């Protein structure tokens, strides 16, 4: 009977020690550094490195956007189990800021590390008359042949700066599954790109030829009530893309 009591007492002490270890506060990670890879990887990727935290079983990477720190647990690169990770799917020539927190065996997280910031490499823009869009680096669905009434950009035009970023962007739900975007026309813009932020990454959703100042984006494939974030870029006659407009949010 006495021996059994001793065994139970020992097991209780082990359980208490285990629970204490799970509840122990982890220190915030230190030594966070942001490394920009060489081109072409550096156009859309950034590497984060930090000092390992004793007792941590993993880490969470947070990104600073719109005045807040955001954590996207659906992106595996943002829940690494080692003290480094590569964040991909970023926009070229864009500044980013990140911080890291440690995760303990019981799921308890530490305070955030000191932030680290950096900018992806700017993608060089060159004129291509056969449908390749230099602004975003993807192929147009159809080639754009030069018609008899059209001429390619003159050499002087290729040296012109990119248009100004669109301004006055407004987003309003047009119907249950559509958002109407409106903005001020940009001087010398020949087309526009509408981009939507999905899981922290900006993706083109509409390519508008001509000189429109509004469009309707269908969000039928999305099931959440929002919010949805959009921005617009203007493209000049020489194919150079502007900086993105200030993003707007549409919510049901």
**Residue 230, helix vs strand vs coil:** strand
Same domain, 177 and 236: yes
Domain of 207 in residue numbering reads as 162-250
Using the predicted structure, report yes or no on whether residue 15 has a pLDDT greater than 50.
yes
Binned at pLDDT 50, 70 and 90, residue 54 comes out as very high
Using the predicted structure, report yes or no on whether residue 13 has a pLDDT greater than 60.
no
Look at residues 92, 119, 146 and tell me which one is the last residue of a structural domain: 119
- Which pLDDT value is given to residue 1? 57
Structural domains in the chain (count): 2
Query: Is 110 domain-assigned?
Result: yes
Binned at pLDDT 50, 70 and 90, residue 47 comes out as very high
Type and span of the H or E element at 191: strand 191-198
Instruction: CATH number of the domain at 100, please.
Output: 2.60.40.10
- Which pLDDT value is given to residue 187? 86
Distance CA 246, CA 232 (A): 8
Distance CA 238, CA 252 (A): 38
pTM for the whole structure: 0.45
Using the predicted structure, report yes or no on whether residue 60 has a pLDDT greater than 60.
yes
Cα torsion 141, 143, 144, 148: sign: negative
Between 223 and 202, where is the model more confident? 202
- Which pLDDT value is given to residue 150? 43
The CA R_g of the chain, rounded to the nearest whole Å, is 25
Using the predicted structure, report yes or no on whether residue 192 has a pLDDT greater than 90.
no
Same domain, 108 and 188: no
């Amino acid at each position: 009977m006495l021996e059994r009591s001793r065994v139970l007492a020992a097991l209780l002490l082990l359980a208490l020690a285990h629970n204490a270890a799970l509840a122990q506060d982890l220190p915030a990670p230190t030594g966070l550094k942001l490394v920009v890879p060489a081109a072409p990887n550096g156009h859309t990727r950034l590497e984060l490195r930090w000092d390992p935290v004793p007792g941590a079983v993993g880490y969470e990477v947070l990104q600073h956007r719109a005045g807040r720190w955001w954590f996207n647990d659906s992106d595996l690169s943002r829940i690494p189990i080692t003290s480094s990770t590569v964040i991909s799917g970023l926009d070229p020539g864009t500044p980013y800021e990140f911080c890291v927190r440690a995760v303990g065996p019981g799921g308890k997280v530490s305070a955030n590390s000191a932030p680290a910031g950096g900018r992806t490499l700017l993608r060089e823009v060159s004129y291509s008359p056969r449908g390749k869009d230099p602004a975003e680096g993807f192929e147009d669905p159809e080639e754009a042949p030069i018609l008899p009434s059209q001429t390619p950009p003159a050499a002087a035009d290729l040296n012109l700066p990119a248009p100004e970023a669109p301004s006055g962007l407004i987003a309003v739900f047009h119907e249950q599954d559509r958002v109407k975007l409106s903005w001020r026309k940009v001087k010398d813009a020949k087309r526009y790109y509408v981009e939507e932020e999905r899981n922290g990454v900006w993706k083109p959703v509409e390519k508008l030829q001509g000189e429109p100042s509004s469009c309707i984006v269908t969000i039928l494939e999305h099931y959440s009530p929002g919010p949805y974030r959009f921005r617009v870029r203007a493209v000049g006659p020489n194919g150079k893309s502007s900086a993105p407009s200030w993003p707007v949010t549409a919510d049901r």
